[in-house]
Amino acid sequence: MDKYKNTLIISLIIIISSNLSGTDEIRTQFDEAKTLDIDFNSLRIGTAEYPDGPTGCTVFYFPKGAQCAVDQRGGFSGTYMMGDGYVDAICYAGGSLLGVEASAGVAKGIFNRRESYSWYDIPVVRGAIIYDFLPRANLVYPDVTLGKAAFESAVPNKFYIGRYGAGCHASVGVGFDPKYAQWGGQGGAFRQVDNVKIAAFIVCNALGAIHGRKGEIVAGNKDRKTGETFSTAEAVERRIKTGKKLTTSSGRTTLLLIVTNLKLDHRELRSLARQVNAAMGRVIQPLAAFDDGDVTYAVSTNEVSNSNIGVTALGVLASELAWDATLSIFEE
């Protein structure tokens, strides 16, 4: 009993000390970062970090509102107001379940800008989190203050690519042995076909390895000593031959967001989210495993119509953009 009591006391001391120190500095500007410049004025993107974590959050704000649908896969997802329907903003954050607090900060920021306080002016913010506590030795997490800072820094047509925001302490390819992992991050891609705009944004903290267009491994499952890369299937076979446990590192998550200006109803949005999420199996292997918490949101700002582009074709285009967004994280 004393053993468990001492463990509890030590844990409380760590939590108290970590949350009382190291969270004063907030960073929202990243001049050194590679950026994705897009043409999507009905979307604002904000990024904020606690460098002492490091941990952070990335906010996607729709000033005129939008409609969304979500496709959740894997066994360990963490979300805030997960579901389909109206949305003012989506907040992706580190900090595991504690990081959902950042979404409340985004809602607070939106609410403070509104002149009316009626029922219809209560902000609808949806969010999802990744587990980013390892290998850092503190419990700093994205809170209300950081979420509000990310919202207040939101600007149109600019997205930071790499180890920033929600992806600043992400990793990929942890698989069956953390020593083969590499840093992840957040990535993005944008395309316009006729009057239809499509953007894909990803926070990649995947259990699986990242694969390129030719099937090659781009990140994860890499032996740092030899430089050798290998598939997750090969990793399993190696562990079988050597008699090692076939257990994985839990708490891994990929967060994906697809945004379009094409008018879509709820059924079409759900189909879009499912189609793109399923296609991500080409990029991340394995995907949607028991130890993952993969979440994909599909959002429409409902601005344009186009009878020449159906939702299935849109899903194909968005799936390719999602692949591009993932690869953008690892490009030099």
* CA distance linking residue 97 with residue 88, whole number of Å: 21
Residue 282 lies in a domain: yes
* Contact yes or no for 77/295 (Cβ under 8 A): yes
pLDDT tens digit sequence for 8-57 = 333 333 344 444 434 679 999 999 999 999 999 999 999 999 999 999 99
* Contact yes or no for 94/129 (Cβ under 8 A): yes
- Catalytic entry in 55, 229, 253, 296: 253
Residue 273 maps to which CATH number?
Answer: 3.60.70.12
Residues 6+ positions from 104 with CB-CB distance below 8 Å: 80, 125, 144, 147
* CA distance linking residue 135 with residue 211, whole number of Å: 24
Residue 54: cis peptide before it, omega within 30 degrees of 0: yes
Q: Cα separations (Å) of 28 from 47, 294, 303, 324?
A: 6, 26, 29, 25
Residue 7 lies in a domain: no
Residue 32 lies in a domain: yes
Question: Which two three-digit tokens encode residue 62?
Answer: 């729709």
* Helices 144-152/101-113 angle, 10° precision: 50
Residue 13 lies in a domain: no
Counted domains in the chain: 1
Domain range for 213 is 27-328
Residue 304 lies in a domain: yes
Residue 84 lies in a domain: yes
pLDDT tens digit sequence for 235-271 = 889 889 988 888 876 668 999 999 999 999 999 999 9
Residues pairing with 254 in the sheet:
204
pLDDT tens digit sequence for 205-229 = 998 899 999 999 999 888 888 888 8
Residue 21 lies in a domain: no
Q: Cα separations (Å) of 218 from 37, 179, 183, 243?
A: 24, 16, 12, 28
Q: Is 232 a catalytic residue?
A: no
* CA distance linking residue 170 with residue 55, whole number of Å: 9
Q: Is the pLDDT of residue 5 over 50?
A: no
Residue 16 lies in a domain: no
Question: Which two three-digit tokens encode residue 226?
Answer: 């030899």
* CA distance linking residue 160 with residue 186, whole number of Å: 8
